[in-house]
Amino acid sequence: MKQWFDNTAVGSLGEDVVDWPRVIPYILLHLTCLFVFVVGVSWIAIVVFAVSYFIRMFAITAFYHRYFSHKSFKTSRVVQAIFGFIGATATQRGPLWWAAHHRHHHKHADTDEDTHSPRHGFLRSHTLWFLTKKNFPTNEDRVKDLAKYEELKWIDRYDILPPILYAFLILMVGTYIEHVHPELGATKWQILIWGFFVSTIVLSHVTFLINSLAHRWGYQSFETDDDSRNNPLLALLTLGEGWHNNHHKFPGSVKQGLRWWELDISYYLLLGMEKLGLIWDLRKPEVTKVQEQRV
């Protein structure tokens, strides 16, 4: 059980096979969602579900992806730690692990060395790749710029703690709603199931669809050396990550929706954070360069 709580309990790279004992918590996370048939549903539970989904999706798309993986803007050590923690509550591992694998993906996109290319099959691309012994450890050589921060290394090592603490927070919100606003017809357990478990599973699989579908389904605005596609539906569900062909053409850009109608909610929120002085030096491709290279 130690490997569930301390990621250093599993040392060197292992075999490219699913590590079933280690993924028991991941399986239980899915099974717990079945309790929706026990706790029922209410409009306030759906609101908590949506808010929980939105906040953590932003942490994944804006910080795990655009900041930690691609350094598309700058921020303070405090802000990066806060969003590193929030991102970890989404149960997609720690920021170093996430960024290390994503940088590897861009270096070898849709080749034999790409660990989650859909060319290797949908299930492999969608989930199986990160359940293997081989892909479990964090390769700090790929993220030396991030590994110098002890707080990020701590989050990465004990990445199961943020989800546990977040689940407790959602339970406290549910307790408040149940006792202070009983007219809403929700229980603390209903809020917990919808606000944490269901929200986490939906958030996770929508994020995984960027790997499994955004290299298969959609249109291409630019010629790239991979199969990346722009997908409007995925862009809406992931706050802008579905403009994946744009992203693979300009991976360092903080802005992924490059046409006026390509909605990029994460980018708009980052602009708001820039106005507040929380982030700065946002990197964007030159307009003329985008126009010249568009197919």
pLDDT digits (tens, 9 = 90+) for 210-260: 999 999 999 999 999 999 999 999 999 999 999 999 999 999 999 999 999
Domain ranges of the chain: 2-293
Is 80 exceeded by the pLDDT of residue 2?
no
Structural contact between residues 194 and 167, judged by C-beta atoms closer than 8 angstroms: no
Max distance between CA atoms of the chain, in angstroms, equals: 60
Which three-class secondary structure state does DSSP give residue 283? Answer: coil
What digits encode the pLDDT tens for the residues 89-108?
A: 999 999 999 999 999 999 99
Helix (H) or strand (E) holding 181: none
φ, ψ (nearest 5 deg) of residue 82: -60, -50
CA gap 19, 40 in Å, rounded: 34
What is the spatial distance between Cα 72 and Cα 62, in angstroms, rounded to a whole number?
A: 9
pLDDT digits (tens, 9 = 90+) for 26-81: 999 999 999 999 999 999 999 999 999 999 999 999 999 999 999 999 999 999 99
